[in-house]
Structure 1
Amino acid sequence: MRRAAVYARKSSDSEAGVERQVEIARDFIATQEWLPGPVFTDNAISGATYDRPGLNALLAAMVTKPRPFDVLVMMNVDRLSRGTIAETLELQQRILTTGVEVWFYQTGQRVTLTTATDELKGAIDAYGARDFRDQIKAKTTASLYKKHDQGHATGARTFGYALVRKDNHTERVIDETQAAIVVRIFEMSASGVGDRRIANELNSEHAPAPGPKGWSKDGIRRALDNETYIGRVRYGMRVKKVKITELPALRIVSDALWQRVHSRKATTKQHYLRNEQGQLLAKPEAGLVSRYALSGIARCHVCGGGLKVFHGAKDIPRYRCAERGRRGTAVCANNRGIPVEELDEAVRLAVHELLTQDPSAVAALLEERDQRLRAEQAGQGDVRAAALAKAADLEKEIDNLVNLAASGKAPARVLDGIRERELKVAELKATPEAPKPFDRAKFFRMFAGARAIDMLVNPCFPQQIRACMRKLDIDKVIPYPNPDGKGWSFENTADLAGLLPMGAPEERAG
């Protein structure tokens, strides 16, 4: 006796709707005197989507040997697909070519695509399913625009607001805790702090964030561009018809603060370094308002914390350890300040001297450093190979779970287990490979680009000096006091680290 499987799907989140489809399909199977087989379901998933757990399990089960069913029963064709006519027919044909019969309990008919008439009928059924979806889509879009005009929430939750259900609609209300974070982001940006530094500081404090992974540079940028925070809500941003509704009750950020942020960002764009032909050479540092070349770059030689500019009694700005000032002498014993003008100029001259050297000699030094680093990494083993081996083991586990799901005897949590393993496999496969060998050609291109910037650098504009250093991948400068107590030496940590003095502190020239 043949065994019949069931496939049920519901676009909306209605477990009862899926269960009802399964119940009717089981009754149909009983009238045909078939044996009940596995059940595959997808709840709250559109028929236009083909990456469905239930459908994927069904397609996987069809090709297993022995196959766990001979017949597939569902309500009608739109349970299987509401995509294009060609996609729907192709999916049906894919099932039929395995030898599985397809039956629709709504009509009591078996699906065949062996003749031109069969294909025409199948195309008409597929057209009906697609047309129904298109009509629903059009009505839904019109309804969402209407809700937007009335000030109702129409999409995902925006950080800074909670969604509250009222009567037959949903409204946004300000979440005071999150709103305080939003205001802080705007205030930090207005004071010259870059997007990445804002994200890092919030994450270090475990501040509330839009998602479980915390804040990112892009997340900060999107927040700073979100007009909802000044009471202007946009809808339809991904289509041509964009509508804006003024909702003063949703304002979190004042107009003055909004203007300060966007005026600063507009000013930043004016400091992008370009050559005479207009070609972009480097972007400025995000913290454009900083008057000091080493802001965010200089580090304490004792604790590794950042150096911050402080004004002394004689009003001479000096770099001092910010960690010591913030957390006390127990964290850092470095109480020496470095005159800003002296260190900035020393670093600028060192970079300029570096860029006037023979590129071939510089490349030779870099190759030597590259070989030394590779020798150190060799003892750590192949991290990517180990990650791929672990991914292969997880993929075997996924195959076993898919087979279990196809049997129809698996608990619902098996699908969660499959998803978790798939995410872990993707993470493991993204493990970076070992760094590639030193690329001389790439180095010469980078060196030439940095040299072009150096020719344009004006010492009066520290933003340009930082841009030049970033082009050279110099993201950290560590000043050391000279052994005689007079003056300072420094090292940098970057791909060009071997080019500036890198010996012991007493060997470094100021």
Structure 2
Amino acid sequence: MTLFRSGATYCRISKDDEADEDGVTRQSEDTAALADRRDIPVTDTHRFVDNDVSATQGKRREDYERLMATVREGGIDVIIVYALGRLWRNRKERAEGIEVLRKHGVSVLCVKGPELDLSTAVGRMLAGVVGEFDTFEVEQMSERQQRETLQRVERGVAPTGPRAFGYTPDGMSVIDSEAAEVRKMFDALLAGATLSGIATELNGRGVANRNGKEWTHNAVRYLLQNERYAGLRSYGGSDYAGKWDAIVSEDVWRQAVAVLTDGARKTSPGPARKWLLSGIARCGVCGETVTSAQRGPKSSAKTGPDRIYKCRGPVKHLARNAVPIDTLIAGTEPGEPLGVVLLLLMREDAARLLLDDQRPDMEALTAKAGTLRARLKNMTAAFADDDEADAVEFAGAVRRVRERLSEVEGQMSSPARTAVLGDLVGAEDVVAAWEALPLDRQRAVVDTLMTVTIHPAGPGRRAFDPRSVVVAPKL
């Protein structure tokens, strides 16, 4: 029996759903007991634990890294583990770890397994053989889990895991009050609201997330991109129909995903826009968008700072007083002319603003997508039952159907003008409806209806000339 001068214990459990650390506690007790029986000294600084770190998901193991650093420093001559599979998770880690332990003369002692002297060829061979059995078990379990998951997906069973906001814990039934909030979130996004704006609005009304906490920018994004709300489940790059009730249509969900994945969309959760035209209006000289800034000291507590729009480009082609420009575009002051946006929305033929000649027939596309998904499922079942089926022909047919399905799903991502303008066009009081909108919604309406170009005012102080702001309708 080998006598060791200084040992270390290492414990790892792959999954700790309850976060109670019972698994690693049992391993710690067993490894400590083995150290006592073998009379191996183990200091508190040489006890290493990685809790809830899977063998297959590749999470970083901080304590394992500390353990290997201790080995390289020459601080220990044996590592005590419950089983060899707790120390190394895959072939790459095992090969690298064996080489490090060989170089520094460190052995491995297992509670459930052999003592491995890795300074010898026999010890390294045994470590490799035992490790291969561990890897085989992990990979076989992973294959079973993947097959089980695919079967559940094909049967339309809801995903397991944390409860989704809007659904009961089993994922199959809708919670009406939460589902109503989910629909509002999708509607707000498609109407031009920002993720931060949606989160702020929810928190302002005291609507908590599934954990009873406030909403964040990222939590709203995750919800809106989750296909579960459209009654779908993604697996292996494909979408499958679920048997639970959808909260929004597939059309609405795909529009939301298209908005959130648009490369031109600002994705930073930083400060929200504070002014109507910043980032929307363009410089009349270079075409860059304008930004808003404060010029000079605050004039008074009542009027606030002198706010300007200025060119965002490297050469500042213009710096214009923002107030009269905002008034020209969206003014609602009693007794003063209404802004261009209000005049458009109040026209007798304002309903034409909702027309979108490029808008595909969503009902037909949704039906076509469902037909193609059913065809894929039937093709798979028929192939499985036909012992003489040609695998190459089957793969080619599946590929063609998937390509058609992908094309249909892409068409369903087209945005709708109605989402942005619907609650304004035809409103009994357009001015009141406009004033009730949050700023991000007002900005979306402006951006949908028109292109605003601001030209330099010219040298010296002069009265505001509306002709220096060019409005081009997007119709």
TM-score scaled to structure 2, two decimals? 0.51
Residue 122 (str. 1) matches residue 127 (str. 2): yes
Q: Decide whether aligned partners of structure 1 residues 111 and 89 sit closer, same or farther in structure 2, where only a CA change above 3 A counts.
A: farther
Is the partner of 1:465 in helix, strand or coil? strand
Q: CA deviation at 1:40?
A: 1.7
Q: CA deviation at 1:208?
A: 3.7
- Given that residues 233 and 244 in structure 1 are in contact (C-alpha distance below 8 angstroms), is that contact kept between their aligned partners in structure 2? yes
C-alpha distance in 1, partners of 2:72/2:336?
72
Q: CA deviation at 1:235?
A: 3.8
Alignment of 1:176-195 (within 5 A): 176-189=176-189, 192-195=191-194
C-alpha distance in 2, partners of 1:81/1:209?
38
Q: CA deviation at 1:75?
A: 2.5
Match of 1:43 in 2: 51
Match of 1:202 in 2: 201
Structure 1 residues without counterparts, runs of 5 or longer: 164-169, 273-279, 285-292, 311-316, 322-333, 345-459, 470-489, 491-498
- Given that residues 229 and 251 in structure 1 are in contact (C-alpha distance below 8 angstroms), is that contact kept between their aligned partners in structure 2? yes
* Paired residue type of 1:87: E
Residue 252 (str. 1) matches residue 247 (str. 2): yes
Q: Decide whether aligned partners of structure 1 residues 204 and 6 sit closer, same or farther in structure 2, where only a CA change above 3 A counts.
A: closer
C-alpha distance in 2, partners of 1:96/1:502?
79
Alignment deviations for residues 199-258 of structure 1 (CA, whole Å, 9 cap, x no partner):
365367365457978443x7656645544334x23141xx24x4623325x3323x5xx6
Q: CA deviation at 1:294?
A: 5.5
* Paired residue type of 1:127: E
Match of 1:11 in 2: 14
C-alpha distance in 1, partners of 2:30/2:447?
76
Alignment deviations for residues 42-89 of structure 1 (CA, whole Å, 9 cap, x no partner):
232223436123323323444568x3x432111232111121x23212
* Paired residue type of 1:15: E
Is the partner of 1:97 in helix, strand or coil? helix
* Paired residue type of 2:54: S
Q: CA deviation at 1:337?
A: 4.1
C-alpha distance in 1, partners of 2:30/2:229?
50
Q: CA deviation at 1:295?
A: 10
Q: CA deviation at 1:90?
A: 0.5
Alignment of 1:35-434 (within 5 A): 35-38=41-44, 39-48=47-56, 49=58, 51-63=60-72, 67=75, 69-83=76-90, 85-115=91-121, 117-148=122-153, 149=155, 151-163=157-169, 170-189=170-189, 192-196=191-195, 198-199=197-198, 202=201, 205=204, 207-209=207-209, 214-216=215-217, 223-224=223-224, 226-230=226-230, 232-236=231-235, 239-240=236-237, 242=238, 244-248=240-244, 250-253=245-248, 255=249, 259=251, 302=303, 319-320=330-331, 337-341=336-340
Alignment deviations for residues 371-398 of structure 1 (CA, whole Å, 9 cap, x no partner):
xxxxxxxxxxxxxxxxxxxxxxxxxxxx
- Given that residues 199 and 220 in structure 2 are in contact (C-alpha distance below 8 angstroms), is that contact kept between their aligned partners in structure 1? no
Q: CA deviation at 1:297?
A: 5.8
Q: Decide whether aligned partners of structure 1 residues 200 and 339 sit closer, same or farther in structure 2, where only a CA change above 3 A counts.
A: farther
* Paired residue type of 2:246: R
- Given that residues 198 and 220 in structure 1 are in contact (C-alpha distance below 8 angstroms), is that contact kept between their aligned partners in structure 2? no
Percent of paired sites with the same residue: 19
Q: CA deviation at 1:500?
A: 5.6
Match of 2:269 in 1: none
- Given that residues 235 and 244 in structure 1 are in contact (C-alpha distance below 8 angstroms), is that contact kept between their aligned partners in structure 2? yes
Q: CA deviation at 1:137?
A: 0.6
Q: Decide whether aligned partners of structure 1 residues 74 and 283 sit closer, same or farther in structure 2, where only a CA change above 3 A counts.
A: closer
* Paired residue type of 1:319: A
- Given that residues 88 and 126 in structure 1 are in contact (C-alpha distance below 8 angstroms), is that contact kept between their aligned partners in structure 2? yes
* Paired residue type of 2:36: A
Is the partner of 1:123 in helix, strand or coil? helix
Is the partner of 1:35 in helix, strand or coil? coil
- Given that residues 501 and 509 in structure 1 are in contact (C-alpha distance below 8 angstroms), is that contact kept between their aligned partners in structure 2? no
C-alpha distance in 2, partners of 1:27/1:2?
17
Q: CA deviation at 1:133?
A: 0.8
* Paired residue type of 2:247: I
Is the partner of 1:36 in helix, strand or coil? coil
- Given that residues 108 and 117 in structure 2 are in contact (C-alpha distance below 8 angstroms), is that contact kept between their aligned partners in structure 1? yes
Is the partner of 2:451 in helix, strand or coil? helix
Aligned residues: 309
Q: Decide whether aligned partners of structure 1 residues 508 and 125 sit closer, same or farther in structure 2, where only a CA change above 3 A counts.
A: farther
- Given that residues 280 and 447 in structure 2 are in contact (C-alpha distance below 8 angstroms), is that contact kept between their aligned partners in structure 1? no
Q: Decide whether aligned partners of structure 1 residues 341 and 119 sit closer, same or farther in structure 2, where only a CA change above 3 A counts.
A: same
Is the partner of 1:193 in helix, strand or coil? coil
Structure 2 residues without counterparts, runs of 5 or longer: 267-275, 282-291, 295-301, 308-321, 344-445, 466-475
Cα RMSD (Å)? 5.0
* Paired residue type of 1:109: E
C-alpha distance in 2, partners of 1:50/1:200?
30
Alignment deviations for residues 1-30 of structure 1 (CA, whole Å, 9 cap, x no partner):
723221122223273433333333233223
Q: Decide whether aligned partners of structure 1 residues 174 and 502 sit closer, same or farther in structure 2, where only a CA change above 3 A counts.
A: farther
* Paired residue type of 2:112: Q
* Paired residue type of 2:147: A
Is the partner of 1:244 in helix, strand or coil? strand
Is the partner of 2:129 in helix, strand or coil? helix
Q: Decide whether aligned partners of structure 1 residues 31 and 203 sit closer, same or farther in structure 2, where only a CA change above 3 A counts.
A: same
C-alpha distance in 1, partners of 2:258/2:39?
74
Q: CA deviation at 1:135?
A: 0.7
- Given that residues 62 and 95 in structure 1 are in contact (C-alpha distance below 8 angstroms), is that contact kept between their aligned partners in structure 2? yes
C-alpha distance in 1, partners of 2:53/2:151?
25
* Paired residue type of 1:53: E
* Paired residue type of 2:31: A
- Given that residues 75 and 106 in structure 1 are in contact (C-alpha distance below 8 angstroms), is that contact kept between their aligned partners in structure 2? yes
Q: Decide whether aligned partners of structure 1 residues 507 and 97 sit closer, same or farther in structure 2, where only a CA change above 3 A counts.
A: farther
Match of 1:381 in 2: none
C-alpha distance in 1, partners of 2:178/2:225?
17
Q: Decide whether aligned partners of structure 1 residues 337 and 302 sit closer, same or farther in structure 2, where only a CA change above 3 A counts.
A: farther
C-alpha distance in 1, partners of 2:172/2:9?
41
Structure 1 residue ranges, 4+ long, deviating more than 6 angstroms after superposition: 210-213, 260-269, 298-301, 303-307
- Given that residues 227 and 253 in structure 2 are in contact (C-alpha distance below 8 angstroms), is that contact kept between their aligned partners in structure 1? no
